[in-house]
Structure 1
Amino acid sequence: ELTVQKPAKKEPGLIENIKSKIMSSSYVQNYILQQAQKKVMSQTQGLYPAPLKILDVIKQTLESGSKVGYNAEADVSTFYLIYNINEITKQIQNLF
């Protein structure tokens, strides 16, 4: 009879624990999000709103938890779906 043994989970070490504590700080999270927003703005010149919406969803998830984050993601997806349908409709109307 063959049995498969799962490897034992390794306990996080000191470095991982310190990193986890630092990353769970709201100050550090806000700083990282601000830096990401600056980089997005410099790369897109503010012409593409989707990356900023993604950062908003990440921020909501960090502040309020996964359930709120999933709802925010669904709202953004719905918004862009409707927006794209409206843009496609306008372009089709321009053809005629």
Structure 2
Amino acid sequence: MENYQYEKKPRVLCPHSHGSSTEILKKELVLGWPQFLLEKLDLVFLDGPFLLQDKVDAHDIFHPPYYEWFLANKDFKEIYNFEECLQYVEANMEKYGPFDGV
């Protein structure tokens, strides 16, 4: 396998999981990924567009605020604000991109 040299660091969009935040994701990456790898990437973090409406397990460990990407009922049979979420992500990709990965 050949070694490739990039002129710039690959830019990666980093959305957090449900009920999380960019601050939580940053802490998780620093603890879980090797530093030499983090230094080779241009990581762009993005908080979800909506404040969390319910509680998740991470809330006993990390401090608020917490975000979600869209709203849903408890069994996820009804989803709300999904189109707004897509518009939000697209607008931020245009603002901070282009990206090489997610």
- Whether TM-score is above 0.5 comes out as no
Query: Greater CA radius of gyration, 1 or 2?
Result: 1
Give the alignment's TM-score, normalised by structure 2.
0.29
Give the number of the structure with larger relative contact order, counting CA–CA contacts within 8 Å between residues 6 or more apart: 2
Q: Greater share of helix residues, 1 or 2? A: 1
